[in-house]
Structure 1
């Protein structure tokens, strides 16, 4: 099945389209995601590099390398964190909060659950991986 999703930043300066099969979707509780999103966790969905296109703002979107090989892409005008990627696996991890339409997949697990915020309580029955996804 081929999916098509669109997304954009808060101010609208940067937008994208992703076409193709969606990979996995999960909630990430790592400390970097907590700080990047000012939240207990972020929800991501994976798409292949080949199916991803910037449709607006490619000349302004920028990234921060949060760990070796991992780039976190954001809009420099409003600060929205749009996605992250690793060159090694060719998967772009879209931040679901910036998806505008087309997403029907549901999260299948929590990752980095051992790093969850002390004030956060899990309220679902999704599997919880203490560290990263074993299949990613």
Structure 2
């Protein structure tokens, strides 16, 4: 939920809760195969500064290294896909579906659109790219 101080969110079971002080960038929909495999569809993520992310309950938070520099945070109990982090940057992407509602965010773009699965179409006029 968007609050005067930022946002809050959690996984499905509540084993991982977090707060974001400050702002989130407008979310993007990532259609790459890795996001599809971790979420079951495309993943919608919003970016915040690492320093603004506070994991207040993280006993079930686990990290999976999906490539040499990228790790993905998830709840080991419910499987909730929560975070995406590139070790070479000072930002973390938060999966928008885990934010408490209302978040007040609007989707801004589609990335890796050419990698989308063949069972759905992208039916909006937002910017698209086939890369990051």
Same topology, TM > 0.5? yes
Partner of 1:87: 87
Tell whether the 8 Å contact from 1:24 to 1:46 is kept in structure 2 after alignment.
Answer: yes
Once the two structures are TM-superposed, the CA of residue 101 in structure 1 deviates from its matched residue by 3.5
Cα RMSD for the two superposed structures: 1.4
Q: Take 1:115 and 1:96, find their aligned partners in 2: how far apart are those partners?
A: 20
User: Superposed, which structure 2 residues align to 1:1-136 within 5 Å?
Assistant: 4-39=6-41, 41-57=42-58, 59-101=59-101, 103-132=103-132
Moved over 4 A (4+): none
Q: Take 2:15 and 2:34, find their aligned partners in 1: how far apart are those partners?
A: 24
Equivalenced residue count is 129
Once the two structures are TM-superposed, the CA of residue 131 in structure 1 deviates from its matched residue by 1.2
Tell whether the 8 Å contact from 1:28 to 1:112 is kept in structure 2 after alignment.
Answer: yes
Once the two structures are TM-superposed, the CA of residue 60 in structure 1 deviates from its matched residue by 3.0
What's the TM-score once normalised by structure 2's chain length?
Answer: 0.91
Distance of aligned partners of 1:3 and 1:113 in 2 relative to their CA distance in 1, 3 Å threshold: farther
Q: Which runs of 5 or more structure 2 residues have no equivalent in the other structure? A: none
